[in-house]
Each structure stands twice: as C-alpha cells, then as structure tokens.
Structure 1
Amino acid sequence: MIDVLIRGASVIDGSGAPPFVADVGITGERIAFVGRDQGARAPQEIDAAGLLLTPGLIDPHSHSDWSILGNRDALSTVHQGVTTEIVGNCGVTYAPIAEGDEETARRALAAFGYEGEVRWHSFAELLSVVHGGGTAQNLAWFVGHTGLRRAAERERGDLVSTMERHLQEALEAGALGFSSGLEYGAGRNAETAELEALARVAGRHGAMYASHIRNRDAALSQAVEEFFRVVHAGGLRAQLSHLNVRHRTGAAEGAWAEAVARLERERRSGIDVLADMTPYPDGIGLAAGLLPEWLLSDGEQAAADALRRPEVRERVRADSDRYWRFVHSGQWDRVRLAVSPATPEWEGLTFPEIAAANGTDEWDAYFDVIAASGADLGAVQFMGALFAPDHVAEAVGHDLFLLGVDGFTSRRDGILGARTPHPLFFHGYQHFLGHHALRTGTLTLENAVHKMTAAVAAHFGLRDRGRVVEGAFADLVLWDQRLLRETDTFVMPERYATAARHVWVNGTPVVTNGARTMHRPGNRLERVDVT
C-alpha cells in the first residue's frame, strides 16, 4: 500500500549523479519505490512534473540544540528543506550540567526562546526532554567538551577522569561523539592531553570528534596539528568544523591551502575526516570570546560587574588579541550585535552605530553590552563579516568540504524572531543551492545536493538517510527550482523560504504546498558503526 505517490519529478537522488525523471512512492516512514509505475495508486498523489525532488537536507554543523526548546517546529529550517541536523557542535551543549548550574543554563536557553526550567543534569536527561516533546526534524547529537569540562570542574573531583565518566555516559545515551570549541570558554583551558584522553574513550565506542579548532588565524597550522593529534589518539572519525580563515586577521599566506593539504593527506592515509564550510561571508560568534581568561575565571556575573570599572576596561582593551582578531586592530565595523538579552534595542546594529548612539567609542559600547548582560554574558552573540567571498566559494566547492550553515533554527515571531535578523537563518541552506550552485556555478546542483545529503549521512553514520532510494527513510523535499534560482538569498525574507514546496520527515509531511503542517515526526538519530 502506497501512502503518497509523487509523480514525474526530476530526481536528484543524493549520490551526485545527474537528475532523472521518476515516480516516488512513500509507505509509512520509508521510500517504497523509485521508478516509473503508471499503474500505481495512492490516497495522496502529487503531480511533480517540472519540480525537483531531493533527499531532505542534512546540516553537518548546526547549533539548533540552543534553540530547539524554543522552536520545536523548526520553522526557519524545515521551510528550507532541512530534515536532519547534526547538533552539539563547537563544544557548547547544555548537558551535562552540574548541580548549581541549572539557572545559568536556563538563562542562556531563555535567550533562544525557551520558557521552561532546567531540571536535567545528564546528557541522557537532556535528550529525553528535547525528544519527549517532539521535534519537526531529526537530530543527531554531539556532547560538548565545554559542558563536560564545566560539569567536571563543579564536581571538584579529578578533572579528566570525571570528564571521561560524563563522556562515557553521553556515548551510552547515543551521542555521536564529542565536540570541542577551543577558542573560547572552558575550551581555551583544555590541554591537548585531556582531549586525547577523551578521544581514547570515544575511540572505544567507535565515536567521532568534531572541533572548532584553537586558532584559524596566525597559528592555523598548529591548531590543525593539535586536531589530528586528538584524532589519532582515539583512532576517530572526525569533522574539522568550519575550516576557514577569517579575513585580515594574520593568517600566513597559503595557510589555508596548507591546512587543506593536510586534510587531504590524512584522508589518503585512511583517516575518515572531512571539513565543512558556511554559506555566507558572515557568521555568528560568542561575544565572550574576546574576553581574557583572567576576567572570566570567577564567572559571567563577576566579569560583567568588573567591566563597569574603567581600570578593568583599559586592561581588557590591551589584552584582546584573540578569537575575532580583526577587532583588536579596530575593525569594529565588521561586527553587529546579534543576541543581547539585556540590550535588545541594540540588536542588529554595528558597534560603530551603537557607539554613535551612546556617545562612546566601540570598545566602550562593547563593554556596556557585556556589563549590562550580567549572568547572561554567555548568551551574547555577534554577527560578523568574517570571510572573503572568494574564500567561501573555494571551500564550498572543495571535494572534502560538507556544507554546514553554522546557525540555529529560528522563527519569525517571539524572542527568536527579534534576535536573528540575518538571512543566514532563513536562507542559509537555499543560499548553497540557489546562489552557489544555480546562480554562480561554484559547484553543480547535483554535487551541492550530495554534499548536503548522502555525503553527510555516510560520514556521520546516519543509516538509510540522505538518498532517494527504495528502503531509505522518506526524508524528501520537492522544490520549485525557479524559486530556488530566483530568490535573493542575500536579503532578509519577509516570510519563510518558499522554494521547498513539500517536505517530508520520516514519511510525514512537515511542509505542504509551502505551508508548515506543525507535525513533529523527527527522531533522535544515534551513532552506527560505519566500518
């Protein structure tokens, strides 16, 4: 019995092969057949002549775990054909949480629309809360090193062994592996040896490692070397997160090409490692990343309070050459305030604009934002003009780069609607397809689809995902290719993306005729052995 029959679509099946015309049948959660069967009938039949059918898009680098509790219907992403997201990246997950840190986590999540309390502590408990309430899209999870380290620090036992125990528990709960973010927060303090110890735990489970590496500027080569030391320590499959260099921040000539060459050599040696790239020259960042460790050592509230004092501000000005290093050289015009719970009236403005409005310079404008944030300091986010467009295109087109948006699912109303005023969140996935594939030819459409579907599923071990083939899960998108090509993805849309006319997750429609159905058929996807 066929439940849904899609007739006469132009199919790009995710393999990288050219499109072909076929009928596709869905039965329950699975694709029942792919071919031409004029005699088939179904309760729901869709005339797809002239439309493009692809697998549901899979984001290899998402932060939707920050916002999913405030946006279970994943409005900005499912409207773009996203059916699965790999979350828990860059080391930042809100589990495990030690006793006493519940309010810090609650306040951070409230900035992304969550209105509940934080009553979980373990990673397994967080997964139960998220998936117990349903999600529109499938989610596959990393556990964050920052979460592991902060929980271990609060428990005051042996740091590394406590982190290992928490990682073991997360892996047993179904985590893909662990991620790190080594430019900010607790990740800054991590020694390579502790990451190697965690890698050995992950390796015993056949798990993965994903890393926002320690430096993508003047010390890129050293950061890449550290990444592979960790990978080799556990014999891990790995993802080198957003392997790029920020424009005009001190990276040596040819440093990125050398890093990519190292990636290629490791692949040839047998290491299952890939990288990913974001769609725009712009990207999100944590405001706390600019702050020195001596200021943050006593916690967010203490750091915010300290920045009310002029002598502390002067000291921080002189000790700011980290993370977005172009700020240290005065390029504040490249930075917008994206999320600031204490000063929402400044969100969306550049720091020169905030400074002009308040009669200060840019550094004092930044310090004013941080001082006002108090215990919410960790929730303050930037949107920055980070990369040169030709650098983005070069990475997007490279064979070893998957295509990740590095954002989070958003919506047009409520807190999230007020705090994500950039096309990244509403057009990012379509930008890969419409801009990079259809308009500029950075890569072919079938290659772009492959790098957003089957290639991701294979690398992360997501069984029966990412292909339009018989027996696969029916994560599917039916596109209006004209809208995909003609939509201006550089501007904020007035409504949700419209090119994905129909979207199915596990055989259930989440978008029909361009309208959200509000079904929540998403599953939690666990790690499988891909060897």
Structure 2
Amino acid sequence: MNSYDLIIKNGTIIDGTQAPRFMADIGIKNGCIEKIGSLTGESALRTIDAEGKIVAPGVIDTHTHYDAQMFWDPYLTNSSWHGTTSVTVGNCGFGFMPCRESDRERYMKMMEATEQVPLNAMQSALPWTWESFPEWMAAVRAIPKGINVSAYLPLNSLMMYVMGVEAAKTRPATASERAEMRRLLHEAMDAGAVGFGFSFLQNYNSHKDFDGSPMPTDSMQIEEAYNLCRVLKERGEGVVQALMEIPGMPESNRAQCEELARLSGRPVLFNVVVALDVMPDFHRDTLAWLDEVRAKQLPIYAQALCCRIWVQSSAEDFTVWDAHPLFAAFTAADREGKIAMASDPDYRSKVREWYQPEKFYAGGGPLENWVITDACGSSYAKYEGQTIAAIAEQHSACVTDTFWDMVVATEAKLGFKNPPSLSVDPVKVTELLSHPQVIPGTSDGGAHVKISVSGHYQTDFIDWLVREQNMMSLEQMHYKSSYLPARLLGFEKRGALLEGYAADIMVYDFEKINYNQERYDRVEDLPGGDWRWVVYAEGIDNVIVNGEVIFTSNGACTGAHPGRMLNCSGAMLEQIDDKAA
C-alpha cells in the first residue's frame, strides 16, 4: 500500500515563512502536506525527483479579473503557468454578482469597458444561471477548476443591484438601501465571499463605464463603503480591497482608507503603489504613509504593480486611453471611425494643443516612447523598430500628427509596443517590495487580454531581482508572494510548505526560470476563436494544487482539476455536480 499520494524528493525547500532553505522530501496525502523530512523507503502513487530544484509554495494572487475567463479556461492562464495556485476575483468592484437578468448585458459591457475582456467571449461563454451571490458561487463551484478561486463581493454590482444603475451613479443610498446592502454582504460572506472590493478615484479612474461615465463606486459617497465595513467588524472576518490612489491624483483618499481599517478592524488592501522614474518620490511617499498607519496599528497593506510589463497592441484594439476625453472618443470608435478621426484636421488640432507627455502615464506611457512593431506594409514599414518620437523628428512633425498619419496609412491597424512606463530600476522596485506592508501582484489576470500581460510577475521577480540583481532572497520573495497574502486574506494552512498545510506547490529550476522578455505571444483560444496575448513560463517543472499536479515541464497540462472555491478562512468549498447546480 502506498504511504502517500505524491512524494517530492530531494528538493531545496523554500517554505514561505522566511526560514532559511533546507533539503528535504515532502509527502502529500489527501491534498495536504503530511510530512517534511526524509522519506527514503516510503512509497507513493507518484514521485517527483526535485534534485537541484527549488520547491516553494504556490503564488497567491489577490488581484485578478478572471471573473469571466474561469468559465472557459479552468487553469486561469497565464497565472497558473507561472506557479499561481490561488487567485481572488471581484476586484475594483467589478463582477457579475448579484445581477438581475435585465442587467446582464450591461454588466458584460461594463467588464469590457473597464478591464478589456472581449464582449463576444463573455456573451458566448457565461451561463448566467445566477442572480444572487450565493447562486453565482454555486455556478462556479460546479465548473472544473485547475486552481483555487476566492471572491470579493463587487461593490459596483451590489450598488447597481440594490439601487438601480442611474441611482447608484447619481445619489447616496438611502437608509433602507444601506441596510439591504449589509444584508447581502452577510449573505455573500455566508456563501464564501472573502470580503468586498471597490474603486474610489472620482473622475481620475481610467475605469469608465461603456457609456463613458464614472463607475458607481468612483462617484459614490464613501459612506457606502463604511456601511459594509461595519459588517466585517461584526463578523470579525473578511478583507477590504480598495483602489484609492493612482499617480498624478491631485487629491488624497488616504484618510478615507484609514477609516475603512478603523471601522472594519480588518485588513485593507490599498491599490495601487508603483515605482516611477518620472515621479521617484511617489512610492516613497506611500511607504512613509504605511509606516504611519502601522504606528497607528491600522492593518493597511499596499499592493504593488512593479514587474516588467509593457503594452503591446494596435490602434484598432487599444483602449487604455479612456481616461483622456479626446483619446477616449478615438478608442470608442470603430475602425472606420478611427480612420476618419485621425484624418480630421479639427480633431488633430485639438489633440495637438492638449497633448503633454506627462498626461499619458495613465494611458500606457507617452506617445514619444511607443515603438512601431507593424506598419502593415505601408510607407512607414521602413520605420518599424523605431519610436514615434524618432519618426516624428525625421518628418519634422509633432508626435501626435505623426501618430495620426500612421493610423491613416495602416487603416488603423498600426501595431506598437511601449517600453515599461513603470520603473525598471531594481533599487526602486526592491525598496518598494521590501516594505513589510507591501505585497506584490496586482496582476489583473484575465483583463486587458489584447494589451498587456502581468500574470508572470513571480517569474519576473525571481529572474530579475533575485537571480540577476541579487537584491532579494528567494526566502523573501516567496514570503511576499504566498505566505503574507494568505495571512491577509485569512487563509488558514495555506501559503507555506508546512506539515498540515494545503499542498499548493511550485517546483522550478532557479537557473532556468524565465519568460520571453521581447514580446507577448498571440494565441487564438478565446471563445469563438478570438485571440489574446500570453506569456509562457520557462524553467517551471511542476505546478501542484491541493496535492495534484496540473502542469509539468514546459507547461504541459495534466488535465487534472483539483482547484476549489475558497472561503475567507481558506477552506475549500465542496465541488458541486454541474448537473445538480
């Protein structure tokens, strides 16, 4: 009789707690780590020889938008290829629950506008067998999952469900509406929610509704969030996810964030902190504030977006300019409309007068830095590989006019890539990630699928900050990416390689872990044959979820579906037979 379901032998274990690495075997049974030590002579249904490899806890990504993708991709790629074993959806207040039948199309258009999830994919793949949060949970518990999923109750959805769309965007909730929202949060938490999520950026959020108006939570009174904090305080469980600050905002929402922590008594995941070369003190100011709130004993943690990502898109597909009214009109137009606008002297003149490079850091970076990747055989083909600024200089023209000329010449199919607008200074990024109240992530996995990819952040950090720069240790990195997020979410016995903990594990070759840093790869695997960008992992030998291997070397999928829905304690919710759901 086999002693274990799986044994990982001879590996170098980074357990996630920041304890020094050590050599040992790991014995796994019934989805949990049963023994760590010498297992010589013990038998198992399957054995992985990890000699010369790192064995570490799977990544816990608390900020994704896989709300739709989970219905057609049980492995939630790109994230799982790179060692992510648990994700949280419902971030920034966006999601599909609760939702009345009459609002389904609006919710999907909202997700397309804010997170660039293709509408046709959602229309063809979402079963819409739910209205309430518990009914949504039942639907997700019934679908196969390669990795674990937890969910916030999205506040935009909640406000629109209780108040109606127009009221949610134009007035405060009434006392009775706030009581109903509290009741529905209790209901969601009972069904397995891990808290609630929202954004609160007023008019500064690039997340706009499909009609160009702000989302409900961006224009709401902050009391709507305070109202729900009292539910978490009463229950003594749950997390608040709050997108409350982006670079360049003239107003601070930090006092409101502190009040969220006071009223809830629970961890608040504050978004977003980034390192920028053009604003070198932005992240340092945030870190100083985190020191202040720690002195006040407020459990506020910032989520960092700081891996080396870039934008790779085309004039036809790019939508991140929605934060800028003049460019928002361009991105909202169809291809023929884009060509017409790019040809219009009045429109070009308005853009020319308005445009300043610093205004574009929230829109993928200044136009000057964009590199042309595909001129579609036009007269600009000879400039491929050059920046728009360099091309403009050769034509003695301004940057915006040069861009519009290329849009017209390529019939709005112009392909481009920008260098990272985030800092790639390892000193700044390490300074940010090393702060005790900062966690990495903000991958937005499942979103922006034709624009950028960042589900590979753990691979990037190991390759860049640990191996190449030697500025962080593997012990630090896996603590930040696994154990600390688990503690903040309240997940018991997850996020570390300890006896009795869930066997969520990645096994990789430290010398080979990497990814293609030159370009994203295009795959046509969305519903209906639509396409997206992906980043494949290199050097990751095994990804294990709840004791079962889901990927082997080079991303080969085993077909196993061990993932489960997790509640706010990290407990697995029972899988529901899809025929009974």
Q: Shorter-chain TM-score: which interval?
A: 0.7 to 0.9
Listed one character per residue, the Cα deviations across residues 103-122 of structure 1 (whole Å, up to 9, x for unaligned) are: 23345354484422452332
2:240 corresponds to: 209
After superposition, where does 1:313-332 map in structure 2 within 5 Å? 325-326=360-361, 331-332=366-367
Shift in Å at residue 365 of structure 1? 9.6
Distance 1:140 1:320, change over 3 A: farther
Kindly indicate whether the alpha-carbon contact (under 8 Å) linking 1:217 and 1:245 is maintained by their aligned counterparts in 2: no
Q: Which secondary structure does the structure 2 equivalent of 1:79 belong to?
A: helix
2:147 maps to: 137
SS of the equivalent of 1:430 reads helix
**Among 425, 430, 433, which residue is 1:396 paired with?**
433
Looking at structure 2, the residues matched to 398 and 18 of structure 1 have their Cα atoms a distance apart, in angstroms, of 20
Whole-Å Cα distance in 2 between the matches of residues 196 and 322 of structure 1?
37
Cα distance in 2 between the residues matched to 1:351 and 1:122: 49
The 1:328/1:288 distance shift into structure 2, 3 A limit, reads: closer
Q: CA deviation at 1:19?
A: 1.0
The answer as to 2:62 corresponding to 1:60 is yes
- Residue correspondence of structure 1 range 12-27 to structure 2 within 5 A: 12-27=14-29
Aligned match of 1:259 in 280, 283, 286?
286
CA contact (8 A) 1:54 1:476 kept: yes
User: What is residue 71 of structure 1 aligned with on the other side?
Assistant: 73
Matched, 1:174 2:211: no
Return 399-408 or 6-15, whichever deviates more.
399-408
The aligned residue for residue 323 of structure 2 is: 290
Q: Which structure 2 residues correspond to residues 498-513 of structure 1 after superposition, within 5 A? A: 498-513=538-553
Helix, strand or coil for the counterpart of 1:385? coil
Counterpart Cα distance in 2 of 1:490 and 1:200: 45
Match of 1:377 in 2: none
Counterpart residue type for residue 125 of structure 1:
E
What is the SS of the residue equivalent to 1:455?
helix
Question: What's the secondary structure of 2:477's corresponding residue?
Answer: helix
Equivalent residues, number = 492
Aligned to 1:102: 104
Matching residue's letter, 1:392: V
Q: Which residue of 1 aligns with 2:165?
A: 154
Quick one: structure 1 residues 282 and 306, their matched pair in 2 at CA, closer, same or farther if it must change by over 3 Å?
closer
Cα contact 1:313–1:367 (8 A) shared by 2: no
Which of residues 485, 491, 502 in structure 1 aligns to 2:518?
Answer: 491
- 2:503 pairs, out of 474, 481, 491, with 474
Distance in 1 (CA, whole Å) between partners of 2:364 and 2:11 is: 53
Find out whether 1:235 has 2:265 as its counterpart: yes
**Contiguous gaps of at least 5 residues in structure 2:** 209-214, 312-317, 373-383, 393-398, 522-534, 572-581
Cα distance change, pair 142–500 in 1 and its aligned pair in 2 (3 A):
same
What is the root-mean-square deviation of aligned Cα atoms in Å? 4.4
2:88 matches 1:86 = yes
Matched residues in 1 for 2:275 and 2:198: separation? 18
- Find the aligned partners of 1:286 and 1:26 in 2 and give their Cα distance: 46
Corresponding residue for residue 230 of structure 2: 200
The residue type equivalent to 1:79 in the other structure is W
Inter-CA distance 267–26: structure 2 relative to 1 (3 Å threshold): same
CA contact (8 A) 1:457 1:466 kept: yes
Deviation at 1:101, TM superposition (A): 2.2
* Contact 1:291 1:316 survives alignment (8 Å): no
1:527 alignment counterpart: 568
* 1:208-242 deviation digits (Å, cap 9, x = unpaired): 2111114432436x232332233223333111123
Q: How far apart, in 2, do the equivalents of 1:134 and 1:290 lie?
A: 37
Aligned-pair CA distance for 1:504:
1.2
CA distance, structure 2, for counterparts of residue 329 and residue 447 of structure 1: 30
Would the alpha carbon gap of residues 214 and 402 (structure 1) be closer, same or farther in structure 2, given more than 3 Å must change? closer
Deviation of 1:456 (Å): 1.1
Is 52-61 or 180-189 further displaced after alignment? 180-189
SS of the residue corresponding to residue 167 of structure 1 reads helix
For 1:38, the equivalent position in structure 2 comes to 40
Deviation at 1:244, TM superposition (A): 2.3
- Residue 10 of structure 2 aligns to a residue whose secondary structure is strand
Distance 1:286 1:201, change over 3 A: farther
- 2:294 partner amino acid: R
Q: Does 1:441 align with 2:452?
A: no
Distance (Å, rounded) in 2 between the aligned partners of 1:308 and 1:178:
43
How far apart, in 1, do the equivalents of 2:405 and 2:194 lie? Answer: 40
Secondary structure of residue in 2 paired with 1:96: coil
Which secondary structure does the structure 2 equivalent of 1:498 belong to? coil
Shift of 1:85: 1.2
Partners of 1:95 and 1:320 in 2: CA distance? 39
Following superposition, the deviation at residue 430 of structure 1 comes to 0.4
Amino acid at match of 2:508: W
Q: Contact between 2:274 and 2:306, CA under 8 Å: does it hold in 1? A: no
Map residues 217-366 of structure 1 onto 2, 5 A cutoff.
Answer: 217-219=248-250, 222-244=252-274, 248=278, 254-282=281-309, 287=320, 289-291=322-324, 325-326=360-361, 331-333=366-368, 361=401
- Identical counterparts, % of pairs: 22
CA distance in 1, matches of 2:99, 2:491: 27
Tell me, what secondary structure is at the counterpart of 1:4?
A: strand
| Unmatched runs of 5 consecutive residues or more in structure 1 | 338-347, 373-381
Q: What CA distance in whole angstroms lies between the structure 1 residues aligned with 2:356 and 2:164?
A: 26
